[in-house]
């Protein structure tokens, strides 16, 4: 055979292998409002940068007449490419091929590209769209999941791993995304659950739709499994590209620096965001935007545990991870979900050399039987652990309330914040003036002719004496009390001089965080 005919043979084989599950299955995929696996990769990566591998891999199953079936690429595309000009490893499950089910060779392809990513020290992107384990392949299918989970764990904190849920991701399959850094979901397309509606119906007799059980909104707002929510696949891809512009390519490097842009100070006036009544809310994101470059702020888990705001921004061209109490929701209290949300993000930033900026304004922990019984002690401890353990530059700005345990937890001097700044509006005290006055002056209040008047007087007395930043500053727990308009300048300077920060935690195999 001539080279020409051999080349033609190759082309024929490639066309066949790249045809997915055939026209009918592809039509069905499109009818569900979904792109095909190949279209997704092409839309996500830089133009013409996708190099596919293992196109000719076939399944090796023999039972249940599987040997008579051909599954193109065994239901998954794998390869490398560029995003924003930087290399990434990627895989996308192809739902049109046997429902994207995970068989042994399917998993082998994924595992191979994961090994590449770890070896090449580049990010890994996984696009999930699969009905689950390929039952015909039995325990080999389970082995496949196990091999993936193991690699997700080894790669955790070494290379960025992101999961994009663009279809069903059910049963054991959900645990790969859960082990990765960030999970992206799309409205009406993403479905994640351990046991589906049918099983729940047969066991419980309860009926629930897939959407209500484990749709995009559920994971973005209730479970916290998802970090980014989009209305369409296109919007989702834009979010992924934005995220990648902020993060470093592996844990040996820092995030790429961008040209410095000043905040839009006419829109976000830092001096007039805070209401004069300290019990009135404001949107802490306005404070962030008054500090960040170009007033950009890329929020993470925006719909979950909204009483704490987390996200990424640039300050003076450099990526900074931001954790801020959000007085707009639940007065900004710490609770089970907000502690968990912030703690994981802090560990992410620490693993990838992203300095931490903490903005503090909280009345304390959320009281309640449900919180206590949900384990606010161990979940709250995660936050202390994450902040204490983090060795990246840590800068804290106390905007207003910093009471009790909340003061300690929000990256205080005592958890080794490098710089703690406080606005003149800061109230740093063991507890709020109302609560403190009721305890300290109980006798005087009870014995007074007019207890309410006496209480008010004592609250005012306590406020004047303690609800300010100067008591803490007198002990050196605050490094500087600053005017709001000076905030960015102080942060920029602190970041600049912290660039070569070195701190060594004691040698250990690993700690035992309370999770």
Q: Which residues form the interface with other proteins (CB under 8 A)?
A: 203-206, 221-222, 229, 279-281, 302-303, 305-307, 327-333, 337, 363-364, 366-370, 373, 403, 431-435, 438
Which residue lies nearer to other proteins by CB, 212 or 496?
212
DSSP-derived secondary structure letter, 365: B
CB of 331 to other proteins, least distance (A): 4
Which among 225, 220, 233 is positioned nearest to 95, based on CA atoms? Answer: 233
Q: Which residues of 227-237 are buried (b: 16+ CB within 10 A; e: fewer)?
A: bbbbeebeebb
State phi, psi for 82 to the nearest 5 degrees. Answer: -120, 145
Neighbouring CB atoms inside 10 A of 457's CB total 16
Which residue lies nearer to other proteins by CB, 5 or 280?
280
CB of 430 to other proteins, least distance (A): 11
Calpha distance 492→469 (Å, rounded): 22
CB of 144 to other proteins, least distance (A): 25
CB of 301 to other proteins, least distance (A): 12
Calpha distance 245→313 (Å, rounded): 10
Calpha distance 503→500 (Å, rounded): 10
CB of 287 to other proteins, least distance (A): 16
Which residue lies nearer to other proteins by CB, 333 or 383?
333
DSSP-derived secondary structure letter, 133: B
Calpha distance 321→319 (Å, rounded): 7
Strands 394-403 and 161-170: unpaired
CB of 73 to other proteins, least distance (A): 35
Which residue lies nearer to other proteins by CB, 50 or 403?
403
Calpha distance 348→354 (Å, rounded): 8
Calpha distance 309→358 (Å, rounded): 10
Neighbouring CB atoms inside 10 A of 160's CB total 26
Which residue lies nearer to other proteins by CB, 7 or 223?
223
CB of 401 to other proteins, least distance (A): 9
For the record, the structure tokens of 45 come out as: 């990566």
Which residue lies nearer to other proteins by CB, 122 or 288?
288
Instruction: Decide if 392 contacts 365 (C-beta within 8 A).
Output: no
CB of 450 to other proteins, least distance (A): 18
* 64-68 LR contacts (CB < 8 Å, sep 24+): 64/136, 66/136, 66/137
CB of 434 to other proteins, least distance (A): 4
CB of 137 to other proteins, least distance (A): 23
Which residue lies nearer to other proteins by CB, 306 or 388?
306
Which residue lies nearer to other proteins by CB, 42 or 471?
471
CB of 433 to other proteins, least distance (A): 8
Which residue lies nearer to other proteins by CB, 373 or 504?
373
Calpha distance 348→15 (Å, rounded): 41
Which residue lies nearer to other proteins by CB, 46 or 434?
434
CB of 236 to other proteins, least distance (A): 13
What are the start-end ranges of the H helices in 121-232? 139-155, 175-179, 197-204, 210-214, 216-217
* 62-68 LR contacts (CB < 8 Å, sep 24+): 63/136, 63/137, 63/138, 64/136, 66/136, 66/137
Which residue lies nearer to other proteins by CB, 22 or 275?
275
Of how many residues is the chain composed? 515
Which residue lies nearer to other proteins by CB, 161 or 190?
190
Instruction: Decide if 288 contacts 308 (C-beta within 8 A).
Output: no
For the record, the structure tokens of 354 come out as: 């992203």
Please state, in angstroms and as integers, the Cα–Cα distance from residue 467 to each residue in 252, 425, 430, following that order. Answer: 43, 9, 10
Calpha distance 361→363 (Å, rounded): 7
CB of 112 to other proteins, least distance (A): 36
- Quick one: how far is CA 432 from the chain centroid? 31
Which residue lies nearer to other proteins by CB, 144 or 433?
433
């Amino acid at each position: 055979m001539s080279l020409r005919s051999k080349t033609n043979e190759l082309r024929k084989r490639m066309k066949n292998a790249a045809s997915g599950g055939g026209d009918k299955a592809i039509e069905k995929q499109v009818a569900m409002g979904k792109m095909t696996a190949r279209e997704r990769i092409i839309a996500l990566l830089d133009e013409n940068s996708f190099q596919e591998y293992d196109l000719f891999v076939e399944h090796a199953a023999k039972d249940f007449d599987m040997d008579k079936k051909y599954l193109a690429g065994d239901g998954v595309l794998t390869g490398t490419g560029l995003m924003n000009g930087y290399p990434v490893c990627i895989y996308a499950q192809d739902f049109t091929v046997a429902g994207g089910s995970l068989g042994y060779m399917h998993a082998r392809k994924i595992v191979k590209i994961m090994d590449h990513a770890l070896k090449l020290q580049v990010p890994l992107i996984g696009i999930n769209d699969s009905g689950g384990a390929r039952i015909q392949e039995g325990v080999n299918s389970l082995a496949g999941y196990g091999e993936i989970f193991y690699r997700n764990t080894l790669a955790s904190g070494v290379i960025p791993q992101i999961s994009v849920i663009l279809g069903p991701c059910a049963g054991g399959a959900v645990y790969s995304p859960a082990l990765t850094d960030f999970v992206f979901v799309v409205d009406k397309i993403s479905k994640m659950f351990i046991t589906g509606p049918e099983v729940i119906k047969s066991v419980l007799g309860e009926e629930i739709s897939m959407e209500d059980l484990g749709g995009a909104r559920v994971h973005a707002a209730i479970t916290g499994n998802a970090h980014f929510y989009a209305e369409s696949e296109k919007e989702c891809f834009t979010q992924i590209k934005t995220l990648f512009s902020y993060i470093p390519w592996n844990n040996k490097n820092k995030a790429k620096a961008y040209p410095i842009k000043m905040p839009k100070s006419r829109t976000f006036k830092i001096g007039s965001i805070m209401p004069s009544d300290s019990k009135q809310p404001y949107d802490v994101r306005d404070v962030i935007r008054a500090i960040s470059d170009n007033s950009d702020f890329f929020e993470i888990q925006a719909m979950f545990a909204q009483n704490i705001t987390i996200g990424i921004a640039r300050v003076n061209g450099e990526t900074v991870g931001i954790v801020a109490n959000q007085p707009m929701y639940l007065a900004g209290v710490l609770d089970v979900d907000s502690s968990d949300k912030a703690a994981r993000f802090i560990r992410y930033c620490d693993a990838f050399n992203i300095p931490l900026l903490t903005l503090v304004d909280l009345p304390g922990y959320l009281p309640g039987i449900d919180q206590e019984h949900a384990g606010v002690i161990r979940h709250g401890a995660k936050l202390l652990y994450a902040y204490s353990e983090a060795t990246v530059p840590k800068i804290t700005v106390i905007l207003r309330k910093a009471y009790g345990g909340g003061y300690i937890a929000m990256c205080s001097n005592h958890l080794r914040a490098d710089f703690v700044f406080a606005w003149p509006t800061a109230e740093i005290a063991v507890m709020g003036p109302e609560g403190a006055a009721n305890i300290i002056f109980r006798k005087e209040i009870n014995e007074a002719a007019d207890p309410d008047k006496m209480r008010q007087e004592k609250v005012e007395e306590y406020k004047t004496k303690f609800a300010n930043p100067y008591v803490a500053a007198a002990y050196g727990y605050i490094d500087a009390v600053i005017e709001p308009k000076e905030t960015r300048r102080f942060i920029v300077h602190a970041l600049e001089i912290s660039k070569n920060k070195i701190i060594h935690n004691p040698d250990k195999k690993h700690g035992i965080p309370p999770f």
